[in-house]
Amino acid sequence: MTLPFRHSLTASMTIALLAGCGAGPSSQRAAETAAAQARLASAVAEAARPSASQPAPVSITAPVVDDTTARMLAYAERVRLMQPPELNQEIARLGDAASPGAQLQLSLALSQLRQLPELVRAQELLARVLGNGEARALHPLARLLASRYGEQRRLEEQLEKQNQQLRDVQRRLDQTNERLEALKAIERSLTSRQPAAAASAPANNRARPAAP
């Protein structure tokens, strides 16, 4: 029973007792009215009491992030903001990355270079982390990164293929331009020879003696 209902019930019972101590019909009617109010207050309080069949309220809490994962996410944000020279220094600092944590960090740093060979190496490092049974705390993040790197590698390979096709087209275009320039040079040489041949013909005619 809650405190307001308890106070209401106590007050109603007090009124009923005081009314019962009085004399006369009016006092009796007042006592009956007070008793009815007390019974009403008791019924309201009983209805407000939680039932045993009602489920207890469920406490919703935010998921707990492991400290190791939180540190890795903070490191990922830090290397994301690095410039290529800083990334190269960080990659050199990590070196061979013997521990799973260092391997995951090196993988994150390599992925920021956005070059296909480094991305392949980053995937290999993630595979080593996932194959280490003692690094289970890093496995969820490593699987997430492996999926992301797979998609990134697919895009990088597609971009590399398009760049190769563009280089091939440019090479064929350069070869065509070279042939065209060679043909133009031949045409210029033929054009320059024709006036020279035409100018030498009258001179030869003047030098030839007249027939008797």
Mean pLDDT, 10 residues at a time, the chain of 212 residues: 46 48 53 64 56 49 64 92 92 89 94 90 94 91 92 88 92 92 87 66 55 51
My answer on whether 39 and 78 are in the same domain is no
In a domain, 186, yes or no: no
Which residue range is the domain that position 30 belongs to? 3-46
My answer on whether 8 and 91 are in the same domain is no
Distance between alpha carbon 97 and the CA centroid of its chain, in Å?
25
My answer on whether 79 and 38 are in the same domain is no
Return contacts of 6-12, CB within 8 angstroms, 24+ apart: 6/45, 8/41, 8/45, 9/38, 9/41, 9/42, 9/45, 12/37, 12/38, 12/41
My answer on whether 96 and 126 are in the same domain is yes
Q: How far apart are CA 128 and CA 96, in angstroms?
A: 12
In a domain, 17, yes or no: yes
Report pLDDT for 104: 95
Q: Are 62 and 26 in contact (CB under 8 A)?
A: no
My answer on whether 34 and 76 are in the same domain is no
In a domain, 204, yes or no: no
* Residue where a domain stops, chosen among 136, 159, 182: 159
E-strand spans in the chain?
Answer: none
Q: How many structural domains are present in the chain?
A: 2
